[in-house]
Amino acid sequence: MHAFRSVALDDEKGELVLLDQTLLPNEISYIRLSKVEDIWEAIRNLRVRGAPAIGIAAAYGVYLAVRNSANITESGALISIDSAVAIFKKAKQYLASARPTAVNLFWALDRMERRLALECDALASPAKCHSVARLPASGREEIDDLLAALRQEADAIRDEDARMCHAIGEHGLSLLERGWGILTHCNAGALATAEFGTALAPIYLGQERGYAFKVFADETRPLLQGARLTAWELMQAGVDTTLICDNMAASVMKRGLVQAVLVGCDRVAANGDTANKIGTLGVAILAKRYSISFYVLGPSSSIDLTCPTGAQIEIEERHGEEITSKWYTHPMAPAGISTFNPAFDVTDAELITAIITEKGIARPPFASSLRELMK
């Protein structure tokens, strides 16, 4: 369906290959990164973005940190398993600091660490030593095994995400009817995931099956993910897409042009409160006003049952320059103006019609339905 991949690994060169989303839609340019600092920068500055894609990039990031540590690649010289573990932990902590809201980042890094611990345990066998400090001295084979395990885990995170997106598409499509108008906010498409997307997955599936949806894409200020990314990838797939400014959603709904809202999520709390791109809350309130179904779509890796409610989700705040001048040839606000630029908001569970994951559809009350779904 799409010719691009937002995140890929070139293992031969030891590089993460990212489609630089900051340059879209004007330039299709891939960047190749081998240093953890550069991967951190790419996540921080939204060259790679969208909760699942961030998690995948970070998983490859910790793998590459160990893979590319100089002593391993120089022939003959090897780092010890202890050093490899130390490099991993440092890279993990660093990458986790890139962005605070999307739980997929921490989920993917924790999963990589669990795989590292498993592999270390296996290497320590038959002593069955669980303490990394007591691991035996390593040779080429042990390091190779460790790297293979990390790479396999990162690949699995990516591949599972692709499969989850397709399953989300099926569940989501079961709630939609042919010819509907669908409004979406930000970008929860192929660019934000391994492929196919979450909120856009039912739209792509519907496109394949002749559903003839009419999609309204909010431009999504201030970073314009809707205009730059969603409009771009939907158009590529031949989907009937109309771009609107964020403040036009109410008018479009009032005119009866929207039958369902589909959005992604960065973190869903145990009670169903959902953090997503700033502006999502406003769209949900409007949907309620006009009796339009409001669906949140995401992989189960976006559901954080350890987080009781939306009040505990850390909301990233970004530089005010994104509001005042980023996209303009001249600043569009007076110099020195105070700004408030939260990157996400939390949509209250009571505004959400259903939460759609690869495992199925959760409906209110979410405290029990999400727990059931995640079993």
Between 207 and 225, whose beta carbon lies closer to ligand MRU?
225
For residue 266, indicate whether it is catalytic: yes
Q: Which residue is nearest to ligand MRU (CB)?
A: 264
Shortest Å, Cβ 51 to ligand MRU: 4
34 class by beta-carbon count within 10 Å (0-12 exposed, 13-18 middle, 19+ buried): middle
Q: Is the peptide bond before 334 cis (omega within 30 degrees of 0)?
A: no
Between 22 and 309, whose beta carbon lies closer to ligand MRU?
22
How would you label 154-189 residue by residue, b for 16+ Cβ within 10 Å and e otherwise? bbebbebbbebbebbbebbbebbeeebbbbbbbbbb
Interface residue list for ligand MRU (CB under 6 A): 46, 49-52, 102, 186, 188, 192-193, 198, 225, 264-266, 276-277, 343
Q: Is the peptide bond before 331 cis (omega within 30 degrees of 0)?
A: no
Shortest Å, Cβ 322 to ligand MRU: 11
Nearest alpha-carbon partner for 15 in 43, 45, 40, 36: 36
Shortest Å, Cβ 174 to ligand MRU: 19
Between 119 and 266, whose beta carbon lies closer to ligand MRU?
266
Running DSSP on this structure, what letter comes out for residue 186? S
Pair 103, 302: CB distance under 8 Å:
yes
Q: For residue 191, what are the CA distances in angstroms to 159, 222, 327, 344?
A: 15, 18, 21, 18
Phi and psi angles of residue 113, each rounded to the nearest 5 degrees, phi first: -70, -35
Distance CA 364, CA 354 (A): 7
Shortest Å, Cβ 336 to ligand MRU: 26
Residues paired with residue 32 on neighbouring β-strands, in sequence order? 17
Between 138 and 193, whose beta carbon lies closer to ligand MRU?
193
Between 85 and 351, whose beta carbon lies closer to ligand MRU?
351
Distance CA 63, CA 299 (A): 23
Between 100 and 181, whose beta carbon lies closer to ligand MRU?
100
Between 47 and 92, whose beta carbon lies closer to ligand MRU?
47
Between 40 and 88, whose beta carbon lies closer to ligand MRU?
40
Shortest Å, Cβ 198 to ligand MRU: 4
Shortest Å, Cβ 115 to ligand MRU: 23
- Interior angle at CA 341, CA 5 and CA 274, nearest 5: 65
Residue from 161, 218, 246, 266 carrying the catalytic annotation: 266
Nearest alpha-carbon partner for 226 in 235, 354, 288, 209: 235
Dihedral sign, Cα of residue 254, residue 256, residue 260, residue 261? negative
Strands laid side by side in the 303-304 sheet: 303-304, 267-269, 274-277, 344-347
How would you label 237-259 residue by residue, b for 16+ Cβ within 10 Å and e otherwise? bebebebbebeebeebbeeebbb
Shortest Å, Cβ 208 to ligand MRU: 19
Nearest alpha-carbon partner for 277 in 338, 230, 328: 230
Distance CA 111, CA 153 (A): 8
Shortest Å, Cβ 36 to ligand MRU: 19
Known catalytic residues? Answer: 266
